[in-house]
Amino acid sequence: MKKTTLLIFSLMMMGCASAGNVQKAYQAINLADGVDGWEAKTIAQKQLIDTEFQKQYYLNSGQVISTVLVHDYPDYWFVGFANKDFNQSFWEYLVVINKKDGEIKFAGPYVPLGVANFDWVFKPESQNWKVGDGA
């Protein structure tokens, strides 16, 4: 029954991601069993809502990144959000989430085209470019 309820709720969420819907979905997450992709997207949406960047990025554009760039980090979900400003479209908002406990490892704007890997998330001292304000 719980899986059916979650499935129906997630289908409803795909249509509209409002702050209220995200909050309800976030409260329904059980971190004891780890975090799946849908839960990671919800955690990332909640995190974006709670920042000053909420008006700059499309809340319903959150996508789990599955490119070859994330294959070296199997214990984390990478969720990206598109920028609303066409002139800033090269910026995305990234949230990196631990699959085991839902802890957010990184959240902030970044330029995907300037990234050859995500080592800078885990070793900030190795960052050879600056994460900006995305403004």
Asked, for residue 113, whether it belongs to a domain, the answer is yes
pLDDT tens figures, 13-40: 444 568 889 999 999 999 999 999 999 9
Residue found by looking up tokens 């902030």 in the block: 108
Asked, for residue 132, whether it belongs to a domain, the answer is no
Helix axis angle, 19-27 to 2-15, nearest 10°: 160
pLDDT-above-90 percentage for the chain: 59
Does 127 score more than 70 pLDDT? Answer: no
- Count up the domains in the chain and report the number: 1
Does 83 score more than 90 pLDDT? Answer: yes
Asked, for residue 57, whether it belongs to a domain, the answer is yes
The overall pTM is greater than 0.85: no
Does 63 score more than 90 pLDDT? Answer: yes
Taking the C-alpha atoms of residue 135 and residue 117, their distance in angstroms, rounded to an integer, is: 23
Asked, for residue 79, whether it belongs to a domain, the answer is yes
Asked, for residue 111, whether it belongs to a domain, the answer is yes
Per the structure, the complete domain to which residue 75 belongs is given by: 2-126
Residue 24: helix, strand or coil by DSSP? helix
CB atoms within 10 A of CB 45: 27
Asked, for residue 64, whether it belongs to a domain, the answer is yes
| H or E stretch at 107 | strand 104-110
Asked, for residue 65, whether it belongs to a domain, the answer is yes
Q: Determine the residue type at 20.
A: G
pLDDT at 112: 87
Which of 6-15, 29-38, 39-48 shows the lowest mean pLDDT across its residues? 6-15
Asked, for residue 134, whether it belongs to a domain, the answer is no
- DSSP calls for 35-52: --HHHHHHHHHHHHHTST
